[in-house]
Structure formats: C-alpha cells, structure tokens
Amino acid sequence: MLANVNATRMELLGLRKRVVLATRGHHLLSEKRDEISRQLIGIARKIKPLRKKVEAELLETSRRFMMARASMEPEDIKSSLEIPIRKFSLLVKFSRIMSVEVPELLQKASGEIICYGFSNTSGEMDVALMALDRAFESLIELAEKEKQARLLAVELQMTRRRVNVLEHVLIPDLKSAIRFIFDKLAEAERDNTSRLMKIADIIRA
C-alpha cells in the first residue's frame, strides 16, 4: 500500500475521505452481521424441534406402514397404493431477510390421502397414510427453514469476511498511509523552514 502512495496533500485528503467511508461501511456491515446472526439463531431454534418432530413422524409412518404392508396381501397393497388421489402442488415465493432472498414454500393439497376401499386393506395403512400426511406438512416447513438458514449462513459468512477485511486490513492500511503522508509532508515543511532560515542567515551575514 505504502509503495504506491503519492505523498501529496490531495492524496491525504482523498485517503481521509476513504477512511471515513470505510469506517461507516464497517459500522453498517457490523450491524448487518449482527442482525443476520440474530435471524439465523431464531431460525435455527425453530429448526431443531421441527427436525425432531419430522423424524419422529417419519419413523411412526414407516413403522405403521411396515405393519400394514406385512398384514396385507401383496396384490392388495399394489392395487391400493398404485393410484393416489391426493394432489399436491408447491408454490415457491421469495422474500427478503436483510437483503438475502429466501424462499417461502406454500403447499396446496387437495383430495383425500386414503385412496382405496376398506375390505382388503388394513386400518394400519390409514394410520400410516395420515401420519405421512401430517409429516409431509412439517417436512415442507423444515425444508423451507433449512434453506433459509443455509442462505443466511452463506450471507453471514460473506458479511463477516467483509467486516474483517475492513476492520483488520483496509482501515489500518489507510490510516498508516495517512500517517505516512502526514509525516512526509511535515518533514518537507520542516525542511523548507530550515532552508529559509539558512538563507536568511546568509543574507544577514
């Protein structure tokens, strides 16, 4: 940095302006970093119980499904589950959290989850499908939150790097350049003064 510095008054003024700008940027980025961290912690707090809930619901679903599958004849399972009547659509909307674009997943389901008759099927299949239906809602919510958390985490990492660069590299470099120019200019000023004093002595003599 110092190698490329022209020790002029103009440069000094320019560098002083850059320091003010960098300090303001550092301040704003620090605030952004803190807010992203706060948002991220909030989302992470929601994710933990949600993940536990989804895991428990999926485990329950598979347990029920195993029992239903084992107690039904294979041809009945095939005909029961081959053609589902529940239709599912997913709408992805984007919103902004601290200028980070995060997805919001809106699900829309229609039709019944139970798509078969009652004579040759097990009641456990109903329970399994209902549990799956419940788990699916939580699963979509979890996917949304995890995606939001991931995007915020990437943004947080980027912001933190910017803050660190400003704090530990750019601002100190600018300050040292200012000091260098200031010293150089002061040195030139002293040089000039002593030269004038010497000339005045010669004239007086």
Partner 1 sequence: MFEMIEQPVVNFHLYPSVGEEDWRYCFATAEVRTLGAGMLSKTELLNMANAVDFADAVDLLSSGEYALPARADLAEIENILLVKRSEVRKLACGLMDESIAELFEARDDFANMRLALRRTLTDKELGLDYSGDGNVAAERFEDIFAREDYYSLPFYLAEAVEEAVLGYYQNKDIRQIDYAIDSAHARHNIATAQRLENHFLLELFRMQIDLTNIRTMLRLKFTESQLRDVFLAGGYIDPRRLKHCIEIDYEAIAPLFIASPYYPAIEQGVSYLAAEKSFLKLESCCWEHLEGFLDSTDQISAGIQPVIAYLLKKENEIRTVRLILTAKKNFLDTKLILDRIS
Residue numbers at the binding site for partner 1 (CB under 8 A): 62-64, 66-67, 69-71, 73-76, 78-80, 82-83, 85, 112, 114-120, 122-124, 126-127, 130
Local structure of 205: helix, strand or coil: coil
Closer of 130 and 151 to partner 1 (Cβ)? 130
Least separation in angstroms between CB 88 and partner 1: 16
Least separation in angstroms between CB 112 and partner 1: 8
DSSP structural state of residue 4: G
Least separation in angstroms between CB 134 and partner 1: 12
Closer of 80 and 159 to partner 1 (Cβ)? 80
Closer of 81 and 151 to partner 1 (Cβ)? 81
Q: Are 135 and 59 in contact (CB under 8 A)?
A: no
Separation of alpha carbons 62 and 67, rounded Å: 9
Cβ neighbours, 10 Å, residue 24: 11
Least separation in angstroms between CB 133 and partner 1: 10
Closer of 76 and 167 to partner 1 (Cβ)? 76
HSE of 47, CA atoms in CB hemisphere, 13 A: 14
Give how far Cα 171 sits from Cα of 25, 145, 175, Å: 11, 37, 6
Least separation in angstroms between CB 64 and partner 1: 8
Separation of alpha carbons 173 and 183, rounded Å: 15
* SS percent in the chain: helix, strand, coil, step 5: 75, 10, 15
Closer of 114 and 171 to partner 1 (Cβ)? 114
